Amino acid sequence: MLRIDTVVENIEVGSASVDIIKQAARIIKSGGLVAFPTETVYGLGANALDEAACAKIYEAKGRPGDNPLIVHINEGFELVRLAREVPPGAQALMGAFSPGPLTVILPARPGIFAHGYGDTVAVRLPGNMAARLLIHHAGVPIAAPSANLSGSPSPTTAAHVLADLDGRVDMVLDGGACKHGMESTVVDFTDTVPKILRPGAITQEMIANVIGKVEIAGCGEAAKSPGMKYRHYAPSAKMTLVIGNPASVSVKILELLGQSDAKKPVILVPTGDKALYGEAPIMLLGRRIEEVTANIYAALRRIDELGHDEVFVQGVVESGLGLAVMNRLRKAAGNNVIIV
């Protein structure tokens, strides 16, 4: 039987939320699956040191077996239990941004994991209090990908988790909407120069300020982070992403809309550019890039919930946080991208 329990954001010692989290921790310890909130997206967690428990994650999500899992740890966890070595740059970056939306890839200690990790391990120390308490009470590192069916948009609310995984998970901790709404920045420290494999809320500029040189992995390097090669985050509706200055993009989208034979098309638009679309059917994404980021996955899910069969998306400026948003939108569009 699926359990859904609500945990509040500022958890106090001895509160009901702590009791609920302790129950969730017992499920993790006994080899079960718990979906839980983090500041990025909801995670689907299992004991990272239990091979059979991790196998359940792949089964529940329908996740390809070659796509490794991020291991979530707590403050005070000795990284040498997972990693053969922690390069100074990784230490500095974790010092600056952990707990938070940062994942570092390190050379793995041999023989710890069996699930497609190869000889590297991805580690993150989440900032969300419920997530941290869950890891603390479980007493083990928790392997957790996003708590969605493989290929669909990442979940930013407990309702999204349920829509995908009801019947496939032992318990869902409901901590409300996720603060960032975008998966962690993944930085690889197993090569000569640190490389961003997946952009996120910790931007290239923020990373460069701490460790100096950092590269962004090109499309050809998808094999480094297996998850990046699959179509991802996609609604069922046909999706076209249009990139350029907002005025030209709106002209192009309205032209495409006119030619479309979709029954119920919709346009995703940053709120500030709403006026460019007149009476056309639009869905607003929010004004600031932080809002757009937090809303994007819920919007992609809403397209299907409302029965839209085609969606046109106005791209955002591809720098800072916008780089992460566009990275996900390109994948969601299956590279059906028009530049004007």
Residues that bind Mg ion (CB under 5 A): 146
Kindly report the three-state secondary structure assignment for every residue of 20-83: HHHHHHHHHHCCCCEEECCCCCCEEEEECCCHHHHHHHHHHHCCCCCCCCEEECCCCCCHHHCE
Q: Tell me which amino acid residue 225 is.
A: S
The only residue of 47, 120, 128, 327 in contact with ligand AMP, by rule CB under 6 A: 120
Cβ pair 189, 121 in contact under 8 A = no
Does residue 70 bind ligand AMP (CB under 6 A)? Answer: yes
Does residue 158 bind ligand AMP (CB under 6 A)? Answer: no
Interactions with ligand AMP, residue window 173-192 (CB under 6 A): 183, 186
Cβ pair 148, 6 in contact under 8 A = no
Q: How far is the CB of 340 from ligand AMP (least distance, A)?
A: 30
Return d(Cα 191, Cα 105) in angstroms, integer: 10
Neighbouring C-beta atoms of residue 203, cutoff 10 Å: 18
In the complex with Mg ion, which residue's Cβ is closer, 185 or 250? 185
The only residue of 21, 34, 35, 121 in contact with ligand AMP, by rule CB under 6 A: 121
Specify the stretch interacting with ligand AMP by CB under 6 A; choose among 165-173, 222-230, 301-309, 317-325. 222-230
Q: How far is the CB of 265 from ligand AMP (least distance, A)?
A: 29
Return d(Cα 157, Cα 297) in angstroms, integer: 10
Cβ pair 60, 33 in contact under 8 A = yes
The contact mask relative to ligand AMP for 245-284 (x = CB under 6 A, - = no) is: ----------------------------------------
Q: Where are the beta strands (DSSP E) in 133-264?
A: 142-143, 171-174, 185-188, 195-198, 215-216, 238-243
Does residue 141 bind ligand AMP (CB under 6 A)? Answer: no
Does residue 226 bind ligand AMP (CB under 6 A)? Answer: yes
User: Which residues contribute to the site for ligand AMP (CB under 6 A)?
Assistant: 67-68, 70, 105, 117, 120-122, 145-146, 183, 186, 197-198, 224-228
